[in-house]
A and B are shown apart, each in its own frame.
Chain A
Amino acid sequence: MSILRKLSTNKVALFGLIVLVFLVLVAIFGPYLYETSPWKMVNRPFLPPMENTDLMLGTDTMGRDVLAGLVYGARISLLVGLISTMIALLIGVPLGATAGYFGGWIDEALMRFTEIFQTVPSFALAIVIVAIFEPSVYSITIAIALVSWPPVARLVRGEFLALRNQEYVLAARLNGQTNRNIILREILPNTLSPIIVMASLMVATAILLESALSFLGLGDPEIMSWGYMIGAARTVIRQAWWLSFFPGVAIAITVLALNLVGEGLNEALNPKLSGKRES
């Protein structure tokens, strides 16, 4: 609760949070409130924004409603962002924890393994994975997760290395607790705050990755997404600026909001930083 209170005193973070909550609401309820399918050709193509009150943001190259695309695209962007981050945490946290807690050859082996992924440019790897498995929302989510877990593993390992010789850990060990218990019950809760901060930023990165993949035509052809909208509109950017502008703004605002929240969380959760702010 104190986290929320601290967050709410940070105006910038609060703004990010409000935007984010709004986006989440749009993603959840938008498609029910706004029933026009984003694929439906509702009017003549290239209708500029504000010309028709039913179509505030105009229509695209095929007469599809741009606003509908934004509403439906919010869902896919956030969903891919969240789920791929969760998967990345599910891979990265156990790996980093094991490496940091046990050290020695286990640490060596796991970190070398992590480096394999870190040395390949993450976007290139994501493209290859999606291309191999045929573009679909599943392959995209998994591809993003697979390229974004290594920093998590490194972070968690670092935390574990620092904490594993703390007195309470040693006490637990003397107490005869199992390694599993010590990792899960004693150390992990103390590493949560940096993980949460990192996760919020990872969601933002994942949304960007998904947009970039869709932009390149590697999106799920079944699903309207912001990246797809920009990708499909880039050839006509001189004739119809609004087709790439609005989804671009949507991506920018979402990523910005996530970053602000992440920053706010960092300040709220990190005793050193929050102390500074209050003084």
Chain B
Amino acid sequence: MKKLLLQAALAAALPLSCINVQAAEPTDGGTLNVVVQPEPPSLMIGIYSNAPTQQVAGNIYEGLLRYDKNLEPQPLLAKSWESSEDGTTWTFHLKENVTWHDGKPFTSADVVFSVDKFLRETNSRLRQSLEYVDSITAPDDYTVVFQLKEPFGPFIGLFETGTMPMVPKHIYEGTDYKTNPANHHPIGTGPFKFDEWQKGSYIHAVRNDNYHQEGLPHLDEIYWHVIPDAASRSVAYETGKIDVLPGGSVENFDIPRLTGLENSCVTSEGWEYFSPHAWLWINNRNYPMSDKRFRQAIMYAMDREFAKNALWNGYGKIAKGPISSKTKFFDEDLPDYEYNPEKAKELLKEMGYDGTPVRLMPMPYGETWQRWAEAIRQNLSEVGIETDMVATDVAGWNQKLSDWDYDLSFSYLYQYGDPALGVSRSYISDNIAKGSPWNNVEGYANEKVDQLFDEAATAFPDSKRAELYKQVQQQLVEDVPVGWLLELEFPTIYNCKVHNLIDSAIGVNDAFGTAWIEQ
């Protein structure tokens, strides 16, 4: 028994060992080479919320807070904060020595502008949360007060860089945000400054010598390399050109080989805040997808277990419904859509499906997604649903989703630690608006669901919220507005000479401020 325990302890310590061995004193200097996949459309994190944009821009821009791996808030641009007894007044005290990359001081006016003006206009996800905010005021240069209309459960979880990045008021005020030339040369407060973007090749950021945290960052510079081919990314890592392969940047079947290399470390940490949830967009507006039974048939037709094993190397978990099982409001008792082609055929027959073919638009995020589309296309064809594949690039895919010009497509979205932040946005009818591929793209509208999500967001305490979320999950699983696929897991693979790479709940999307390279 003792021996067994010892072995277990050793096994538990093993993955950590490559981080902790000789992790005595961080050394300054060095260049970090990271892969970014695919190339981001822009680095303006306040306007674009794609994963690759956040990955790079998370080093340039900052939010008021960051979150540790248990999702507990930590100071960043705000040094402290407090709330009133009833949870409706939140006061943030800002750090006083912070400057923008162009030298101008960062003050409470920037916070008010960023949240109340800029992000309210550009970020539909945050806009939804800001509905609960009555006013944002700045009593002095280093104090910001958020006055809420009513308590909002996930409020303190909103302040991460990707959700609520601070943008410089002196550059953006009074301009058209989307066309402001500063979007091409982002100015933030982060530990690294934007230097150069060679389109199709790399993005380069250099150390911010005036960073507000003493002694940070350790690294001199970071390169994000754009390498469009998955096999080439693996080779670049093997040859040492690349130090970090963020989750999802190599093909899944390459992962065991790469992690087996000498001096190669792997971690699945750094996704706690996001809990990426993959699903099939189903355009509820068009026949035959407008029929609930058709959508249920899709759920029964898809062999998700196969996809998980064949395409994701066994990583991940089959998604039962809209809320990730990693979130506390997940309902264990949801019914399962197990793989059952016969049931799917029955449902199609019952609705009188006439064989109208539907369009299937794969997500252009690499080969795993392309293969996944092929697998689902085959699953669907076996129950009698014919599909036409639509080929697009990233820009075209964003465009078509934003314009609702699709029948079936893929996406994976982040949950942000709370259903009120990352889940309701895809299902409430207020969020049906052309122009964004991240909102209620499927066009699902159900008053009951709207109301439940609304109540659950402000209910108190958590047990009351859980009850409401349970109801909403059951309704959604019955209606199948989208076809849930997998709770994704993206292991990050990196050279063991890099230490402290991931030290928050947003992993590689956070700044590499505390990361250092063993010299």
Chain A residues packing against B (C-beta within 8 Å)? 37, 39-41, 44-45, 61-63, 134-135, 217, 221-222, 232, 234-236, 238-239
Contacts and interface: CB of A to CB of B under 8 A. Distances in A.
B347 to A, nearest CB: 22
Nearest to A45: B310
A62 B253 contact: no
B398 interface: no
Given A222-B388, A222-B389, A62 B381 contact: no
A62 B371 contact: yes
Contacts of A217: 370
A62 B375 contact: yes
A45 to B, nearest CB: 5
Nearest to A218: B391
Contacts of A234: 231
A11 B381 CA distance: 46
A235 B367 contact: yes
16 contacts: A37-B378, A37-B381, A41-B306, A45-B310, A62-B311, A62-B374, A63-B306, A135-B391, A217-B370, A221-B389, A222-B389, A235-B230, A235-B254, A235-B367, A236-B251, A239-B253
Given A37-B381, A39-B377, A239-B253, 14 more contacts: A37-B378, A39-B381, A40-B378, A40-B382, A41-B303, A61-B310, A61-B371, A62-B311, A134-B391, A135-B391, A222-B388, A222-B389, A235-B230, A235-B234
Contacts of B303: 41
Nearest to A61: B371
B231 A41 contact: no
5 closest residue pairs by CB, A with B: A221-B389, A235-B231, A45-B310, A39-B378, A135-B391
A236 B253 contact: yes
Contact of A61 (B253, B382, B389): B253
Contacts of A235: 229-231, 234, 251, 254, 367
A232 B367 contact: yes
Nearest to B362: A221
Nearest to B311: A62
A37 B381 CA distance: 11
A279 B362 CA distance: 62
B304 to A, nearest CB: 13
Contacts of A236: 251, 253
Contacts of A45: 310
Interface string B353-384: 00000000010000100110011011001100
Contacts of A62: 310-311, 371, 374-375
Contacts of B388: 222
A131 to B, nearest CB: 9
Contacts of B382: 40
A221 B367 CA distance: 13
Given A235-B367, A236-B253, A221 B310 contact: no
A160 to B, nearest CB: 42
A39 B374 contact: yes
Q: Which of A135, A235, A236 has the most CB of B within 10 A?
A: A235
Nearest to B229: A235
Contacts of A134: 391
Contacts of A238: 257
B176 to A, nearest CB: 31
B27 to A, nearest CB: 35
A3 B362 CA distance: 51
A36 B391 CA distance: 25
A134 B359 CA distance: 15
A63 B391 contact: no
A134 B374 CA distance: 18
A91 to B, nearest CB: 27
Contacts of A221: 362, 389-391
Contacts of A63: 306, 310
A26 B391 CA distance: 29
A224 to B, nearest CB: 10
Nearest to B396: A134
Contacts of B391: 134-135, 221
Interface in B249-265: 251, 253-254, 257
Nearest to A134: B391
A32 B148 CA distance: 68
A26 to B, nearest CB: 23
A222 B377 CA distance: 10
Contact of B371 (A135, A222, A232, A239): A232
A53 B390 CA distance: 35
A45 B370 CA distance: 16
B232 to A, nearest CB: 9
B250 to A, nearest CB: 9
Contacts of B389: 221-222
A45 B368 CA distance: 14
Interface string B299-314: 0000100100011000
Contact of A41 (B234, B370, B375, B390): B375
Interface string B280-315: 000000000000000000000001001000110000
B48 to A, nearest CB: 24
Contacts of A41: 303, 306, 310, 375, 378
A134 B391 CA distance: 7
Contacts of B375: 41, 62
B362 to A, nearest CB: 8
A39 B373 CA distance: 11
A61 B229 CA distance: 17
A61 B62 CA distance: 41
A101 B270 CA distance: 73
A253 to B, nearest CB: 26
Nearest to B388: A222
Nearest to A236: B253
